[in-house]
Structure 1
Amino acid sequence: MGWLDALRGVAALLVAIHHFGLIHLIPYGGTINREFDLGIYAVMLFFLVSGYIVPASLERRGDVRGFWIGRIFRIYPLLVVVVTAALLILPRAHSAVPDAAHQTPVRFAVANGLLLHEMLNVPSALGAMWTLCYEMVFYFFVGALFVQNRHRLSAPIAVGFAALALLLGGTVSPAMITTDDGSTRNTVAATAVVMVAGLVCVLTGRDTLVRIGSLVLGALGAVLLFLNARSTFFESMTILATMFAGTVIHRIERGRISRRWGLACCGSVLLCGVLVGYLYNHGDAVYRTWTTSWVGFSLPYAAAWATFGLGMLLRNRSFPRVLTWLGAISYSVYVVHLPVLQAVHWLLPDDAFPHHGPGRFGPALVFLAAVLALSHLTYRLVELPGQNLGRRLLKSLNAPSARSGT
């Protein structure tokens, strides 16, 4: 799926460019940034890709335990290595990890370790990790739907989330459970117990326990998403609508859903995503969506859909190897770029490059070169070994059941 690799790679690189502020170095960069937020564009493109491929992966496996083992060993090894390295190597003044890691270390570690910190009023260990919380909730929902044999209902679910975003986007308050330090501490502890219990049930591989564990995780995801997400309600609902719409696109392509119904669903999600920006992304909301205007939210959202559609149109063509390589290392790019950004600010003095003329792009070029080189290394040395370890673990877990069936 070279087209998906290309989309992932471009999206990850744009996130890095956005966080570096490269757009401000070009003419009218400030205006462009106000009217077209690169971060929203990139992450919404990511969410479409995840929605398209993640449920398909579970359905192809037909094994919820295998799905979770694959996800855990895909996500966590790199995060553990990069966050640990950032804490050990970067000085406090240039840390990519927020002060909360030192102020409330246990709470910070638990919330980020669960990858639900965005839903628990705890800062991200790395700023870009907030999107992984929505990925995690999406996994909860996908698993719960699968064990109930309702995973083919992605179209009405996508429309439902979009409708909630449109109808209630400006009325539901964020972070309603974690209103103070005590409630945050208790919510983190309770979430840890519930999530670990649910995953343990799933990882037993026993049908009844897998079903119970998946439903527990689904319920946990629903409570946190609807009642305690950090961001605005309209953005949270739009993200889930977008991911399930990505699943709808996959079902259309495979002929598992009516093309007319599927396209109507996707059109509804796209329209709602644009409208909620216009209706609700004003005032305090822009501080939670990290945008500057309603156009800055709605226009890149629509553009992410257009880009995904273009990728689909070109899916049967060959893509340049550099794009498929960038797609392969995209997760590493996404995770390592913020520590590299802080390292560049730390190690490069202000007068290392001229502030005017072509030389002003020097720090950005150093940053991008370092990100790509380090990402290639972490992909080879951390990501691939982690995934291989997960495959070996799953194979060893499945071996006794295979022997008992012979």
Structure 2
Amino acid sequence: MRLRGNETLDRIRDRISELDALRGLAALAVMLFHYVYFYNHNYAIHPIDTSGSFFQYGAYGVHLFFIISGFVIYMTIRKCESVKDFWVKRAIRLYPAYLTAVAFTFLATSTYSGLDSLSISIIDALLNATMLQGVVPGVDIPLVDGSYWSLAVELHFYVFCGMLLATGLLRSPLTISWVWMVTIYVLKLLFVAGMIHPIVGDLGIVNYSNLFIAGVMFFELKNGKRIVPHVIIVLAAAYQFIFFSFLSGVIVSAFYLLFYALLTGNLRLLNNKPLIALGTISYSLYLIHQNVGYLILHYLEDRGFTQPGILAVPVVVSILLAVVITNFIERPLQRKMLRAYGAVRAKDGSDSIPVAT
């Protein structure tokens, strides 16, 4: 969607704010899925029947994250001057909060003896600190926190984007998206037919590429491209229906409709301070909430607190931890690293200082 001449910078900021709000809602949905549904089915001392719980669908918050990543990462990488520039910005954006969450979660799960299944060795924790623990297909390294599985999918997407930047193909997003979409259709069909190994046909990036592609196409719609992005978005929705489930297709299609509403200015109700604040801490919240929350719930249950109201405790604690990590660790470290990177770039003859997105 092309910006009209009378559209202001404030309106553009509103749209980014609405995107932050969606990110915050996605993190909240995943957190409630883990506390209300997943914990109850796997770790609860006094499990209750939650088979019909609405919160089980909160797992699809990760799908929404991937669509947002397609949009935001494509927007970001178009401003990068080199692959090195892209990876440095990504590292500055991701690692301060991530390393903090890894250290805190490892210490918590290693100290609390009630849920030994959540603890891992110090070697595996150090491997997790690299964020590469799930990147190599077929190499199974225990996770410090179960939520970190999605980081490998994100990193695969970043590698793909870096390759496009390095080869100059980033300037042809529609062509690349066509080829990418056809490729994942072929790979999934071959996998379903039993003709290729699951490591190839059932790889995370293959299962979720349709979401990243849709995010890129929504950015193209925002910048004036018309017919082709719509067609590719329809193919991305069809991919979900064909290779997964009808329900997942409906939910993902609903997310696509949310993006259409965002681009047409119909999500202004999300542009409010609480949701934007939640979006601001969403990355840290996603990283810190799962296993730490499970420990809190188990500790409370073990001491006789079994009322549904105890769910508020890990929610509040996780949000507070995310606020601390975001405001007192992540942002200050990012500012320092950006200044240092800017100084290095200045010495190399570049006056521009990068901004983490």
Residues 32-62 of structure 1: per-residue CA shift (max 9 Å, x gap): 569x6321x2111000000001021111233
Matched with 1:286 is none
* Inter-partner Cα distance in structure 2 for 1:30 and 1:364: 18
Indicate yes or no: 2:337 matched with 1:320.
Answer: no
Moved more, 335-344 or 312-321: 312-321
* Inter-partner Cα distance in structure 2 for 1:74 and 1:386: 10
1:325 CA drift (Å): 0.5
Moved more, 323-332 or 119-128: 119-128
- Counting matched residue pairs gives 320
Residues 270-325 of structure 1: per-residue CA shift (max 9 Å, x gap): 11111101xxxxxxxxxxxxxxxx35544433333333333334367361110110
In terms of fraction of residues, the more helix-rich structure is 1
1:340 is matched with which residue: 278, 292, 305?
A: 292
Moved more, 341-350 or 385-394: 341-350
Matched with 2:3 is none
Indicate yes or no: 2:125 matched with 1:174.
Answer: no
Indicate yes or no: 2:259 matched with 1:308.
Answer: yes
Matched with 1:288 is none
Question: Is the contact between residue 7 and residue 308 of structure 1 (CA under 8 Å) also seen in structure 2?
Answer: no
1:266 is matched with which residue: 233, 238, 243?
A: 233
1:387 is matched with which residue: 328, 331, 334?
A: 334
Question: Is the contact between residue 31 and residue 290 of structure 2 (CA under 8 Å) also seen in structure 1?
Answer: yes
Question: Is the contact between residue 96 and residue 339 of structure 1 (CA under 8 Å) also seen in structure 2?
Answer: no
Matched with 1:67 is 86
Question: Is the contact between residue 242 and residue 269 of structure 1 (CA under 8 Å) also seen in structure 2?
Answer: yes
1:156 CA drift (Å): 1.2
Aligned runs of 1:187-336 on 2, under 5 Å?
A: 226=200, 232-233=202-203, 236-255=205-224, 257=225, 259-277=226-244, 294-295=245-246, 297-314=248-265, 317=268, 319-336=271-288
* Inter-partner Cα distance in structure 2 for 1:75 and 1:95: 28
Structure 2 runs not aligned, ≥5 long: 1-15, 42-47, 352-357
Question: Is the contact between residue 284 and residue 326 of structure 2 (CA under 8 Å) also seen in structure 1?
Answer: yes
1:83 CA drift (Å): 1.7
Q: Which amino acid aligns with 1:266?
A: I
Q: Normalised by the size of structure 1, how large is the TM-score?
A: 0.70
Q: Which amino acid aligns with 1:37?
A: Y
Q: Which amino acid aligns with 2:275?
A: L
Matched with 2:66 is 47
Task: Work out the percentage of aligned pairs sharing the same amino acid.
Answer: 22
2:311 is matched with which residue: 364, 368, 372?
A: 364
Matched with 2:186 is 164
Change (3 A) 1:363 1:313: farther
Aligned runs of 1:113-132 on 2, under 5 Å?
A: 113-117=130-134, 119=137, 120-132=139-151
Q: Which amino acid aligns with 2:251?
A: P
Q: Secondary structure at 1:386's aligned position in 2?
A: helix
* Inter-partner Cα distance in structure 2 for 1:96 and 1:145: 43
Moved more, 241-250 or 135-144: 241-250
Aligned runs of 1:367-378 on 2, under 5 Å?
A: 367-378=314-325
1:93 is matched with which residue: 91, 113, 117?
A: 113
Q: Normalised by the size of structure 2, how large is the TM-score?
A: 0.79
* Inter-partner Cα distance in structure 2 for 1:252 and 1:403: 32
Residues 105-153 of structure 1: per-residue CA shift (max 9 Å, x gap): 4466336514342533222221111111111111111011012110123
* Inter-partner Cα distance in structure 2 for 1:74 and 1:346: 32
Q: What RMSD, in angstroms, separates the aligned Cα atoms of the two structures?
A: 3.0
Question: Is the contact between residue 165 and residue 276 of structure 1 (CA under 8 Å) also seen in structure 2?
Answer: no
Change (3 A) 1:96 1:17: farther
Indicate yes or no: 2:351 matched with 1:400.
Answer: no
Q: Secondary structure at 1:117's aligned position in 2?
A: coil
